[in-house]
Amino acid sequence: MALLRSLAVAAPLLVASHAQAPTFAGGTPTGSSPFARPTDLNAIPVSANASGAGGPLLQSFVSYSIEFAFFPDYAGNASYPNLFSNNLLESISAFSGTKPYIRVGGNTQDYALYDASLSVATNGTYIPSISKDYPLILSIGPSFFESYSTWPNTKFIHGFNLAKNTTDDRVKLLDTVPLVCKALGGGKLLYWELGNEPDLYKTSAQGRVRPPTWTESDYVSEWIDVTGKIGVSMAKSCTNMTRSYAYQYIAPSFAGTNNSLKPLTTWKDNLNAANYIALFSSHNYIGGATQPGVTLQGTLMNHASTVASVSKQIDTANALAQAGMTIPYILGETNSLYNEGAPGLSNAFGAALWGVDFNLYCAATGIKRVHMHQGTNYRYASWQPVDTPTTTKGTKPPFYGNIAVAAALGDLTVDKVQVEHLPLPDNTEAAYAIYANNSLARVMVINMAEYNYSAATVDSRPDVTYNFTVPTSCAGVGVVQRLIANGSDAITGVTFNGRSYNYELDLGKPRLLGNVTKDDITWVGEDGIFAVKVPYSSAALVQLSC
């Protein structure tokens, strides 16, 4: 694979104008905003082509990872499909051309043991002293696999249990193979996965499942052995799924880049000896929910934090490429703060802005797809799929960030889409150029300066005006679509381009609101200069006609 570009926050070539009340020369087109034509020519340059961008993205760049134990909550079953979840997935598809790909995995994938007599989809036992967020003892029954039938036109990655490795555990694993391969027939299968974060197996706070002497070579031998046995079992009931083009995995699904097993060593130990691996999958979290000093402004709404975190993935991807790896590099699981997020941080609008910056930075640096992790009652979830004693069913602010990213990238089934990072001078802001088939199509600007509306005075929200120079072929009308809420601490009242995706309005289907701006207008001059005003704690996507 081509080497991924490692980007860092540096002084930009030209600095954005930060005037609070800009003045403009020339006329304003009918129906346009009042900030149509800047006089400040100190503008951010944007290239006409994608020569400085990351490589083309895979379809369904905006995808999800759903905690194994809670997949039936998110999807429902054959009798009661979760229509709310499906509506949200359809809304992503309306921008991207395909529904998000769904990885069914996470920690509980490695706890799940099959019980053919179980009359319900799951039976879990929580151990609060270890984790209050998910069961550490988990049985799944035959009806678990019904959940793969509820979302039309959706492709899945099914996660098999690797951690539990007694003889009986392996028999129970292989007993699920006929069920899941039949459930994912008819085009529903994307890939398989075996094991979640095996680089933590001998160190995990949830319980160590391998001895301290377990090495990368041991892991590789075990992974190859078990994937081979799964393939043999699958050939007996779903022959078509064991053909070379169909029997493929994402791997190694490590928790990070520098834990007890190292990605590069694992790859050099010939993890892909059987040529089963379609995508190299890594996991990434910006920080921890209970880490000291974690704040909305300092951790999530901080471009430097995102750059530092993603750069570790880029360094690993480059090292793998130099070692001869040619398959795409993805984040098979990621979100804001590990341990399922922190209230007031991961579920606030500021986390939606973080999600836009994080996903577009990944796209700009060569990561081909991102699966945002979800779980019932998880603080960082994009939506809560069911009502529980602690959390109300509904759309959460992070989902609006997912929608904004999908809108920025556009239809990935039609265009070859690439993203370029446009460095800005402050860590509270970020900008990106999006190219379709090597032609500039959109510019995204994210202002992450914290604005807490609950503590603010009336009409005190500042804004920043950003000036850009784009190719003169883009002259004319630019359409501004805004991701906005009352402030970075908002939990409700979020919109993208004037639309709400709230459960309460129409089961998550997009609903245009009458009191929020939609399709604002900015004027791109004949010299290619345009301005866009962005309030603190908001983002603006400028659709160009180049």
Contact 352, 401 (CB under 8 A): yes
List the structure tokens of 322: 């130099």
For residue 13, which of 58, 63, 52 has the smallest C-alpha distance?
Answer: 52
Contact 257, 319 (CB under 8 A): no
Cα separation, 429 vs 464, in Å, equals: 10
To the query of whether residue 429 is one of the catalytic residues in this protein, the response is no
Contact 302, 448 (CB under 8 A): yes
Number of Cβ within 10 Å of residue 492's Cβ equals 14
For residue 201, which of 190, 215, 191, 187 has the smallest C-alpha distance?
Answer: 215
Question: What is the DSSP-derived secondary structure letter of residue 81?
Answer: B
Please list the residues that pair with 399 across neighbouring strands.
Answer: none
How many residues are recorded in the chain? 546
For residue 196, which of 164, 161, 220, 166 has the smallest C-alpha distance?
Answer: 161
For residue 272, which of 254, 242, 252, 244 has the smallest C-alpha distance?
Answer: 252
For residue 394, what is the enclosing H or E element?
Answer: strand 394-395
Contact 414, 4 (CB under 8 A): no
For 170, phi then psi, to 5°, come to: -65, -35
For residue 106, which of 156, 69, 63, 148 has the smallest C-alpha distance?
Answer: 69
Contact 64, 102 (CB under 8 A): yes
At residue 200, the 3 state secondary structure works out as helix
- Given the residues 67, 333, 420, 450, select the one marked as catalytic: 333
DSSP 421-443: EE--SSTTEEEEEEEETTEEEEE
How far apart, in Å, are the Cα atoms of 505 and each of 92, 163, 330, 499, 500? 18, 42, 34, 11, 8
To the query of whether residue 216 is one of the catalytic residues in this protein, the response is yes
Contact 448, 389 (CB under 8 A): no
How far apart, in Å, are the Cα atoms of 511 and each of 406, 495, 499? 17, 10, 5
Apex 410 CA angle, 404 and 414, nearest 5: 160
Cα separation, 517 vs 500, in Å, equals: 12
- Given the residues 193, 216, 340, 420, select the one marked as catalytic: 216
List the structure tokens of 90: 């359809």
Contact 332, 253 (CB under 8 A): yes
Which residues are catalytic, by number?
A: 216, 333
